[in-house]
């Protein structure tokens, strides 16, 4: 029997970019959504009112990556060969422009305070990744102002440089694993993730390459040498994105092919040799899924599709749970808000239901009826909007059409 339930619809559409939206990230406890486009513009959206709070041109070319660093710094990476760290506080927002890229502006938009600029290679489309400079177990971990940042090597995009900020000093260069065939090239680095392993506390780098190769490197602190602990080639075409799980025990990769793969992250180099088998691979039958992101509760992940679809999958089973369609052109970016559990709702189960399974009309997330806490009843309208922004389970999708859709999922 055919279902009469309406397809899921976005809660909000954010309009304002003139060119394709390439990147998106939630910052400040989900109060702000950052989006960047092909002209280098960044928009900081206030999710309490769904309006722009700050708009500036961060780069003179397309933006490859964007992320928050702490509560008041933003990192942007553009194809103009620059990576910039900006200082953006609520006070700074008050003096910045709210004129969107679509709006005609005769005056140059002011920019936030520029803290650091790093000249890097952008021969490919690989963005940066960063982590604290020291593991949590280190006495120096309290130095929150220090990070390590991984980017493609300036001279060879097959290698990866790791810089220290704020010193801007290059600390490491990680070489590409040797191909089994001399005639087979692994190609450029396409996606990176840098972190300290939760068990060994060693600095760990995950990289995806143009040939479809995925590799994990670990730094030996005693010898300062990097060792390959895992490498596999589950993709037949370039890896477009990868994301490490919140507990840093595995990572997922997607490519220009239709494959999504789940890979292990060994705690140290195996004595029996390099691990070469992924945990699981699936053929989604949908090529060109990029910007893969795992939500912070480790239950679901999403991809942006060249076919304009946003797909949501179960992390546990890798099964497709939902297909979100609103955009008419290809999607390039997705981002999850941090999955904070609201006092008025329960967290999703390990296997979330599909959004079209016996839902009330217009609804696509599990509804839980509980008594509203007194503290929420007594809040002012502004406090209620802030609470909603911080606790909503937003999924943002950026598209070639210049629009950003906001979905409330699971």
Calpha distance 309→151 (Å, rounded): 29
Token pair recorded at residue 375: 């503290």
DSSP, collapsed to helix, strand or coil, labels residue 294 as strand
Calpha distance 258→236 (Å, rounded): 9
DSSP, collapsed to helix, strand or coil, labels residue 140 as helix
DSSP, collapsed to helix, strand or coil, labels residue 37 as strand
Calpha distance 34→342 (Å, rounded): 23
Look-up: residue for tokens 């990868």? 242
DSSP state of 71: T
Identify the CA nearest to 187 among candidates 211, 204, 213: 211
DSSP, collapsed to helix, strand or coil, labels residue 18 as coil
Name the pTM for this structure.
0.87
> What pLDDT shows up at residue 386?
82
Task: Mention every residue, 6+ apart, whose C-beta is less than 8 A from residue 90.
Answer: none
Phi-psi region of 199 (alpha: psi -120 to 50; beta: other; left: phi over 0): alpha
Pairing of strands 32-37, 21-27: antiparallel
Calpha distance 391→30 (Å, rounded): 8
Strands (E), 102-249: 113-119, 129-132, 147-152, 160-165, 169-174, 189-196, 203-209, 214-220, 225-232, 239-244
Identify the CA nearest to 258 among candidates 287, 236, 299: 287
Do 83 and 118 touch, CB atoms closer than 8 A?
yes
> What pLDDT shows up at residue 234?
96
DSSP, collapsed to helix, strand or coil, labels residue 218 as strand
Among positive and negative, which fits the CA dihedral 290, 295, 298, 301?
Answer: negative
Identify the CA nearest to 44 among candidates 168, 372, 35: 35
Q: What is the pLDDT along the chain (410 residues), one digit of tens a residue?
A: 445 567 789 999 999 999 999 999 999 999 999 999 999 999 999 999 999 999 999 999 999 999 999 999 999 999 999 999 999 998 999 999 999 999 987 788 999 999 999 998 777 789 999 999 998 777 666 656 899 999 999 787 689 999 999 999 999 999 875 555 556 677 899 999 999 999 999 999 999 999 999 999 999 989 999 999 999 999 999 999 999 999 999 999 999 999 999 999 998 776 667 888 999 999 999 999 999 999 999 999 999 999 999 999 999 999 999 999 999 999 999 999 998 744 333 334 444 544 444 443 444 444 444 455 555 556 788 788 888 878 889 999 999 999 999 999 88
> What pLDDT shows up at residue 8?
86
Query: DSSP per residue over 325-394, as a string?
Result: E--SS-EEEEEEPP-PPPTTSPPPPSSPPPTTSSPPTT--S-----PPPHHHHTS-HHHHHHHHHHH--E
> What pLDDT shows up at residue 375?
53
Token pair recorded at residue 258: 């239709």
Calpha distance 123→119 (Å, rounded): 13
Q: How many CB atoms lie within 10 A of CB 155?
A: 11
Calpha distance 204→162 (Å, rounded): 11
> What pLDDT shows up at residue 366?
43
Look-up: residue for tokens 């629009």? 403
The strands making up 259-264's β-sheet, listed across from edge to edge, are 239-244, 250-255, 259-264, 280-283
Identify the CA nearest to 254 among candidates 334, 194, 180, 178: 334
Q: CB-based burial of residue 55 (10 Å sphere; 0-12 exposed, 13-18 middle, 19+ buried)?
A: buried
């Amino acid at each position: 029997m055919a279902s009469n339930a309406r397809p899921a619809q976005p809660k909000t559409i954010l309009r304002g970019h003139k060119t394709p939206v390439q990147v998106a990230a939630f910052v400040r406890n989900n109060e702000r959504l950052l989006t960047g486009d092909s002209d280098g513009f960044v928009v900081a959206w206030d999710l309490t009112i769904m309006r722009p709070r700050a708009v500036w041109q961060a780069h003179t070319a397309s933006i490859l990556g964007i992320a928050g660093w702490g509560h008041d710094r933003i990192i942007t990476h553009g194809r103009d060969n620059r990576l910039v760290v900006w200082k953006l506080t609520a006070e700074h927002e008050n003096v910045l422009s709210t004129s969107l890229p679509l709006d005609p502006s005769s005056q140059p938009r002011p920019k936030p305070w520029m803290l650091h600029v790093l000249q890097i290679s952008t021969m490919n489309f690989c963005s940066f990744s960063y982590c604290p400079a020291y593991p949590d177990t280190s006495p120096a971990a309290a130095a929150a102002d220090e990070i390590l940042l991984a980017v493609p090597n300036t001279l060879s995009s097959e290698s990866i440089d790791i810089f220290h900020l704020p010193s801007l000093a290059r600390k490491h260069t990680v070489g590409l694993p040797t191909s089994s065939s001399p005639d087979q090239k692994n190609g450029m680095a396409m996606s990176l993730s840098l972190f300290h392993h939760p068990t060994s506390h060693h600095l760990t780098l995950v990289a995806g390459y143009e040939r479809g190769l995925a590799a994990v490197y670990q730094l030996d602190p005693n010898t300062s040498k990097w060792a390959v602990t895992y490498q596999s080639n589950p993709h037949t075409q370039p890896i477009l994105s990868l994301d490490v799980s919140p507990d840093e025990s595995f990572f997922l990769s997607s490519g220009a092919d239709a494959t999504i793969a789940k890979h292990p992250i060994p705690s140290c180099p195996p004595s029996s040799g390099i691990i070469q088998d992924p945990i699981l691979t699936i053929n989604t039958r949908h090529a060109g899924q990029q910007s893969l992101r795992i939500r912070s509760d480790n239950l679901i992940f999403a991809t942006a599709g060249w076919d304009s679809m946003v797909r949501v999958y179960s992390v546990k089973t890798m099964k497709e749970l939902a297909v979100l369609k609103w955009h008419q052109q290809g999607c390039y970016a997705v981002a999850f808000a941090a999955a904070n559990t609201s006092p008025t709702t329960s967290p999703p189960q390990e296997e979330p239901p599909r959004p079209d399974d016996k839902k009330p009309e217009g609804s696509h997330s599990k509804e839980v009826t509980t008594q509203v806490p007194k503290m929420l009843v007594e809040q002012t309208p502004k406090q209620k909007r802030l609470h909603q922004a911080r606790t909503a389970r937003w999924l943002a999708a950026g598209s070639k059409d210049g629009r950003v859709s906001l979905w409330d999922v699971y």
